[in-house]
Amino acid sequence: MAQLYFYYSAMNAGKSTSLLQSSYNYQERGMNTFVLTAAIDDRAGYGKVASRIGIECDAYAFTVQDDLSQIIEKQHQQTAQHCILIDEAQFLTKEQVKQLTYVVDCLEIPVLCYGIKTDFQGELFPGSQYLLAWADKLIELKTICHCGRKANMVLRLDSNGQPVKEGKQVEIGGNDSYESVCRKHFRPYFWD
């Protein structure tokens, strides 16, 4: 039975590595996977999923205007798909998460989504919000704060490495722009 999975975490927990490993596992057994990633995040190159440990693959780059159920159904008709894998799932829209439930329920293809749960202000991303609400399975991938506790929050940093309190929800960046921290080390910037 196909299910919708949401693998979530703070930054630098190995989400892309886990996605790439899952895709490889399917392919090693002769099964087809269809990998998608958000077009807005082109740090590894447009239409690429890349891990910090140096592995990568090509992916379909989706935008917020795309109907993912149509794109996946067309791909499935061309080559039967055994699994759909989505990186940067926090950038999905509510409607796109609904479309993924169609892929699982009606096309009976498992969908594995990987993304960040909350933004730099501790607020849910839209894609994450609806995946948390509608996914069949929720799996937290863990990373650690500089203090050794589990990091479940993300700080956005300015050019001097200081936390930023305001700004757009989406600003693409890596380790130079963000730091994963525990709630205790997030609290002084937003809640105290």
- Tokens 């989706």: give the residue: 62
Gap between the Cα atoms of 174 and 171, Å rounded: 10
Residue type for position 164? V
Residue 16 burial (CB count, 10 A): 22
Sites in the chain below the pLDDT cut of 70: 44, 170, 172-176
Q: Could you say which of 88, 123, 140, 171 is catalytic?
A: 88
* Structure confidence at residue 164 (pLDDT): 84
* Structure confidence at residue 172 (pLDDT): 63
Residue type for position 12? N
* Structure confidence at residue 165 (pLDDT): 82
Domains of the chain, earliest start first: 4-142 (3.40.50.300)
What are the pLDDT digits (tens) for 76-96? 999 999 999 999 999 999 999
Gap between the Cα atoms of 171 and 177, Å rounded: 9
Residue 96 burial (CB count, 10 A): 23
* Structure confidence at residue 175 (pLDDT): 60
DSSP codes of every residue in 51-97: -TTS-EEE-EEE-TT--HHHHHHHHHHHS--SEEEEESGGG--HHHH
* Structure confidence at residue 144 (pLDDT): 94
Q: Is the dihedral of CA 186, 5, 86, 89 positive or negative?
A: negative
* Structure confidence at residue 159 (pLDDT): 85
Verify whether residue 123 is a known catalytic residue. no
b/e burial code for range 63-82 (CB count within 10 A of at least 16 → b): eeebebbebbbebbeeeebb
